[in-house]
Structure 1
C-alpha cells in the first residue's frame, strides 16, 4: 500500500511539473492588411490605396518593446507573422512617418490587426468665375488647374474643384496653369504658385486658381498743340502731342488714328510706327504696361483756312470689357488765311474729351469727320474695324480736297 501511494504521488508531481513546459510550447500568429482607409469605414474599398510591398514592420513585446519579428506587406498590402510565442505584442510600422495612423488597437495576443492609415489631401478651384461668387455655375468654363510637384493635375469636377487624396507628408509646390494667351488672369486673391507642407495634424491644403477675363482700357487725353495759339494760319505747322494711357490690366500696344479734313501729317515721333504705311494709323512701338502712358508727337500742317477739328481715335483694347468713352478726343482748330489772324474773332473753346455718344455722333456731319454711310451707333458697334475705316475716309476726303 505504501508503495502504491508513493507511485501515485510521484506521478502527480511529474504531471504538475510538465504543465509549464506545454504552455511554453504554444504559439500564435498575427496578420492583417495595410491600406489608406479614405472613408475610415474599417474595410478596404475599391479605389483606396493599398500599402503594397512596404518593408519595416515590426512585432514587439508589449511590456518591454523588444522586437521579436519583422515583416513586409505583399502586393495586396497583406502581412502575416506566424509561430510567435504566446504573449502580448504590439504591431508597428514606419508608414506612420508618412501618413496619419487611424485609431486602432494594435496590441494583440494573436489574430487580425489591420494597419489603417489616411493620407493628406489637396484641393484647388479652377474655373472661369465670371461673376466672382466663388461658385462654379453650369455655364462657367472648367479650366486646366496646373501641376502639383511638376505633375499635371486631373480635370476639375463639375463643381470646379480638383481634389487629390492620399498624399504623404512632405513639401509640395503648386503651379497654376497660365491662361493669359486666352486673355484670362487669376481672380483677385488667387494663387499662381504656392509652396506648402503637409504634415501630421496639418494635412490639408485649399488653394484658389479661379480665373476672370482680363480687362482692357486704352484712353487718350485731349491733344496739346505747340505752338499753342488761338488762331493758326494756313500752311502753318504745329506739333500735336497725344497722350495715351493703358488703364487696363495687361500690357499691350496702342493703335490710333489722327484724322482731319484739313491737316496733313508730316512726321511722327520714334515711339510709334505707321501701320501698313497707310499714313493715317499708328501704333506704339512697345507695349504699354498697365498704368503706363506714352506721349506721341505728330507734326502737322494746316493746309486750308477753315474751322476744323483734329480727331484722335484709339482703337479698343484687344482685351475684354473696355469702356470706350475715353478712346476719342476732338480738338477744335481755327485756321485763317495769312494776314487775317489779327482780325479774327476768338476761337471756340477747346472741347473736352468726347464721350462715346459724342464721338460717334460726329460721323458724317459738318465737324470734319468723314461719313461712313452707317448710323453712328453702327460705327461704335463695329469697333476697331470701322475706326480704321473711318480714319481712311478722313484721308480720302482730305486728298480729294487737296
Structure 2
C-alpha cells in the first residue's frame, strides 16, 4: 500500500481537462484550499495549464502528464500519489494499464466505472496482485453506484439493529431525479454493447446480478425489467437504466462483507412513475425508451451548465421487507444533478476517504464494503447527501 506521507501527493486527478475531471478538480480546489496535496494530470501539459488558468486554480497545484497509451507514464504517476482519481473513460478502452499500474505499485484507485464486463476482467486479472501490493482499487464511486451501495448498507445496518438480522428483500425505488446522465455514461454503455457483439460470451455475464462475485451466486433475483404496480409503495414503477450496474455492485458488497445481508438477499431497482392510470401509462412508456439510443445527449467531455447542475437533485427509497411483511425504510438524497454535480463530489470524497479515514487490505473493492460508514459520514458532512433510516 502506498504511504501518503512518502508520496508527493495525496491525490492526483487524472483526466482533469475533461468535463467531469474539471468538476472534480474544481470541487477539491474549493472545498479543500489547504491540507490536501493534490495535482491535476492529463496527456497535454499545455491543455492542463490552460484548464488550470481558466478555472482560477493557482499555480501551487502541480501538473502531471500521463497518457493511457503509455504504461510507463502511468506507473510514474502512480508512484507519486497515494490515490489516483480517474475520469478517463470508457474504462474498457482506456483503463486497463492504469489499473495494472495501481495494482503493481500499491496505489489506491477510484473511478466512475459503470462497465461490469470490464470490472469483472479487472477483478480476475488484478485482485490478487492488489491484495499483495496493498492497492485498494474501488470502482463505481459516483452516482453509479454510491447512493445505492451505501443506501442498502444503511438500511441493513438499521434492520440488524432493530430485528437482529438483515432484511432478505430490498426494493430500491427512485422517487425523484432531476438531471441527466453523463456523456461518459452513454459512451461506456455503447462500448459495452459493442464489446458484447464482438464477444458474445460477455452476454451472460452482463445479464447476471452476480457477475462481480466470482465463484458465488445467490437466490433468484427480481429482474426489474417489466413495469408493475408495486404494492409495497402503492405506485407504478418502471425499469431503471442504472440497475444493471448498481445491482451487481450491491451484491459484490454483500459478497465482500461475508454475506452480511444474508445468503437469501434479493434486490432490485426501479423508477417510480406515479399513481393510477397515468402512473401505469408512464411506466409502460418509460420501459420502451432507450435513453442512449440516439446521439442527442451529451458527448464525452460535454455536460450541463452550472445552473443545471446546481438545480438537480435525487431522492431514492429503499424498502426492506422481513418474511412476515414487516417493513423498514432508508432514504438517500443528493442536492445536485446525479450525473455530474453530485458524482464529482462523491468521487473526490471517496479518494479523500481512502487517504484519511480508512486503511483496509488491498484488492478490488466496492465503496460500501471498504469505506462504508466513513464514506457516508464524509458525504453527509461535505457533499450535500443525506442517508436516513426509519
Report the TM-score when normalising by structure 1: 0.22
Higher CA-based Rg: 1
**Looking at both structures, which has the greater relative contact order when contacts are Cα pairs under 8 Å and sequence separation is at least 6?**
2
Structure having the larger proportion of residues in strand: 1
Report the TM-score when normalising by structure 2: 0.23
